[in-house]
């Protein structure tokens, strides 16, 4: 299943973020943005999202300069999706101060003829009904993955369970896994989710690392150890980009490939949190990814 373009469907947004180390206003953000900026290191990425007429042209150029395909990025009348949040010294938890859906509220992805043949599909954290609508438009993807959040689990769990029957990989955090499965123990929670359809469950735990479950194996890894963390916004989507990107490059979903993909995802996420927005990821070089991958391997082997 190797080769081919990754179709990324999600949000492109303007983020205003405050952390103990600084702040930004109307910075380039969004789940599909972070995912695509990370996955591009491994495979071509085609972005499907919507922005408003106020979306800065410099951000559009920045996305294109990264090599991300933007024919699926629609510009509609109105304002771009905006999110405002802050973090205290507990950088694992964001406090949402304001959310303005704007044009994203009526987002209905239209997949082009070329995109329908994408071999890899990532559905970022959006309404599961929209995620299902994308599946109905695809021809025969070889690998599919989706993310979600507590709001959709609470309000659209039946639709989300329909989605789980179709995806190969389900990504969430530990509280979402517990909420979805009604199981406190994460091993039992993952078994329940796998029974719904996915071949693989990836549980993101922020600075505490990643847990990966399948019917055949369990893999655990810490997060990469950093001295400075400026902004964790988008870290989960950046992880997903590195994870799915590596799997698309290798063309395998066996235990060895998944383990390496988790580490590559963790490495990309570690670079992302070193700055606001895409400032670090945008200038990152493949050689730096490989060097940190080597360091990660050295720190965790025994």
pLDDT digits (tens, 9 = 90+) for 210-256: 999 999 999 999 999 888 889 999 999 999 999 999 999 999 999 99
Domain segments of the chain: what residues?
Answer: 6-300
Q: Can you state the angle between helices 157-164 and 128-137, rounded to 10 degrees? A: 30
**CA nearest neighbour of 223 among 200, 198, 242:** 242
Average pLDDT score over residue span 168-195: 97
Q: By C-alpha distance, which of 5, 29, 77 is closest to 248?
A: 5
pLDDT class of 90 with cuts at 50, 70, 90: confident
pLDDT of 194 higher than 90: yes
Which string of b and e fits 152-179 if b means at least 16 CB within 10 Å? Answer: bbeebeebbebbbebbbbbbbbeebbbb
Q: Quickly state the pLDDT bin for 206 (edges 50, 70, 90).
A: confident
Specify the higher pLDDT residue, 3 or 91.
91
Burial class for 98, CB neighbours closer than 10 Å (0-12, 13-18, 19+): exposed
CA distances to 43, 185, 192 from 83, rounded to whole Å, are 29, 32, 32
CB atoms within 10 A of CB 91: 19
Which helix (H) or strand (E) element contains residue 286? helix 286-300
95-138 residue pLDDT tens:
999 999 999 999 999 999 999 999 999 999 999 999 999 999 99
Please choose, from the candidates 5, 288, 13, 32, the residue with its C-alpha nearest in 3D space to the C-alpha of residue 146.
Answer: 32
pLDDT at 2: 44
Neighbours of 240 (CB within 10 A): 30
- Dist CA 86 CA 83 (whole Å): 10
E strand or H helix that includes residue 298: helix 286-300
Q: Say which DSSP state 273 is in.
A: T
| pLDDT value for 1 | 39
More confident: 190 or 301: 190
Architecture of domain 6-300: 3-Layer(aba) Sandwich (3.40)
Read off the pLDDT of each residue in 167-173 and give the average, rounded to a whole number: 97
9 contacts 109 by C-beta, under 8 angstroms = yes
SS (H, E, C) 245-271: HHHHHHCCCCHHHHHHHHHHHHHHHHH
- pLDDT above 90 as % of the chain: 92
State the Cα–Cα distance between residues 172 and 194, nearest whole angstrom.
13
Give the span between the Cα atoms of 172 and 234, in whole angstroms: 13
Would the pLDDT of 296 be above 50? yes
pLDDT band at 4 (very low <50, low <70, confident <90, very high): low
The mean pLDDT value of the chain amounts to: 95
Is the full-model pTM beyond 0.75?
A: yes
pLDDT at 147 exceeding the cut of 70 = yes
In this structure, what DSSP letter does residue 115 have?
G
């Amino acid at each position: 299943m190797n080769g081919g373009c990754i179709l990324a469907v999600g949000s492109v947004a303007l983020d205003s973020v405050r952390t103990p180390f600084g702040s930004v206003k109307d910075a380039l953000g969004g789940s599909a943005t972070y995912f695509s900026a990370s996955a591009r290191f491994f495979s071509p990425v085609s972005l499907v999202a919507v922005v408003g007429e106020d979306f800065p042209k410099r951000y559009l150029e920045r996305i294109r300069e990264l090599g991300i395909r933007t024919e699926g990025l629609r510009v509609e009348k109105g304002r771009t999706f905006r999110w405002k949040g802050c973090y205290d010294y507990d950088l694992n938890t964001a406090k949402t101060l304001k959310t303005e859906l704007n044009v994203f509220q009526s987002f209905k992805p239209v997949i082009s003829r070329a995109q329908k043949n994408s071999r890899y599909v990532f559905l970022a954290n959006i309404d599961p009904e929209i995620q299902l609508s994308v599946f109905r438009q695809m021809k025969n993807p070889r690998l599919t993955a989706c993310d979600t959040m507590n709001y959709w689990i609470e309000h659209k769990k039946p639709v989300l369970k329909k989605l789980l029957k179709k995806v190969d990989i389900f990504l969430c955090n530990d509280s979402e896994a517990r909420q979805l499965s009604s199981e406190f123990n994460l091993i039992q929670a993952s078994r329940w989710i796998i029974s719904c359809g996915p071949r693989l469950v990836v549980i993101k735990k922020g600075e505490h690392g990643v847990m990966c479950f399948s019917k055949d194996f369990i893999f655990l890894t810490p997060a990469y150890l950093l001295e400075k963390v400026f902004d964790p916004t988008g870290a989960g989507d950046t992880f997903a980009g590195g994870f799915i990107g590596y799997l698309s490059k290798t063309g395998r979903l066996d235990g060895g490939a998944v383990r390496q993909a988790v580490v590559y995802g963790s490495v990309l996420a570690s670079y992302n949190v070193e700055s606001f927005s895409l400032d670090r990821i945008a200038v990152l070089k493949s050689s730096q990814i490989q060097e940190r991958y080597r360091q990660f391997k050295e720190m965790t082997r025994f």
